[in-house]
Amino acid sequence: MAHQRLAGKRALVSAAAQGIGRASALAMADEGAQVFATDVNADALAELEHPGIETFEMDVRDADAVAEGVARSKPDVLFNCAGYVHAGSILDASDDEWDFAFDLNVRSMMRMMKAALPGMLERGGGSIINMSSACSSVIGAPNRFIYGTTKAAVIGMTKSVAVDYITQGIRCNCICPGTVESPSWHDRVRELGESLGSYEAALEQFVSRQPMGRVAKAEEIAALVVYLAGDESAFTTGQAHVIDGGWSG
């Protein structure tokens, strides 16, 4: 068997039933980690049967569920992947959408980190990976007012945690992808297609903003998650790792 880059590590992943979370759970398991793949979507999670992966339902908006999930998994690696994309400008944004987005995209990561950090500190270290986006403080994207604001907050939160625990073996990085093919992305293309008149026109709009002329595969983001989870990345912390096909470059 090839060298397993994450052998001996325990990884807790949120939003692992589909998209980037799922691809990352699979990639980390294939590199020898014991992966705890969690999501609110129990049906989709049930389809994630793979050696090295244990699945259980966990809503990152529920503090008790998060505490239980962390106690069960005792993670060395925490991948906070859950997030939701609201469409619209500042004038479209409602208070309810803002509150929901900040709870799911930002506060849930604080919840997870607060639950996982004491155990990581006790065991002498850990790697935390938060899901941000290129659409954040890195770059503005049209009609992503609430989303971009929450993902910028993720970058600030990541840097803050990184600096506070830098001497105690904890690393905290975030990932800023450009557009990635996933089930929710297909929904967003369909939605935009309804206002533009066709699915193809919407697809063209999403793809044309990526200078490479294509969107990313979830597996390409998962490869960065594996790198940040493992000891190969021991000298990187507090960084926003942009992986966006040149969108912001």
Ligand X SMILES: NC(=O)c1ccc[n+]([C@@H]2O[C@H](COP(=O)([O-])OP(=O)(O)OC[C@H]3O[C@@H](n4cnc5c(N)ncnc54)[C@H](O)[C@@H]3O)[C@@H](O)[C@H]2O)c1
Pick 43 or 122: Cβ nearer ligand X: 43
- The catalytic residues are 147
Smallest gap from Cβ 168 to ligand X, in A, equals 27
Residue 171, token pair as written in the block: 């690393």
| Whole-number Å distance between alpha carbons of 142 and 238 | 27
Smallest gap from Cβ 166 to ligand X, in A, equals 25
Quickly tell me which residue has 């206002």 as its tokens. Answer: 195
Using CB under 6 A, list all residues that contact ligand X: 14-15, 17-21, 39-41, 44, 59-61, 81-83, 85, 104, 131, 133, 177, 179-180, 182-185, 218
Pick 61 or 159: Cβ nearer ligand X: 61
Handedness of CA 147, 149, 151, 154 (dihedral sign): negative
Pick 9 or 107: Cβ nearer ligand X: 107
Pick 18 or 149: Cβ nearer ligand X: 18
Smallest gap from Cβ 127 to ligand X, in A, equals 18
Distances (CA, A) of 202 to 146, 183, 194, 207, 242: 21, 15, 8, 9, 24
Which residue in 79, 65, 82, 71 sits closest to 19, CA to CA? 82
| Whole-number Å distance between alpha carbons of 53 and 181 | 23
Smallest gap from Cβ 53 to ligand X, in A, equals 15
| Whole-number Å distance between alpha carbons of 224 and 204 | 26
Pick 29 or 32: Cβ nearer ligand X: 29
Smallest gap from Cβ 105 to ligand X, in A, equals 7
Which residue in 35, 47, 45, 48 sits closest to 7, CA to CA? 35
| Whole-number Å distance between alpha carbons of 122 and 40 | 29
The residue ranges of DSSP E strands in 40-145, in sequence order, are 53-57, 77-80, 126-131
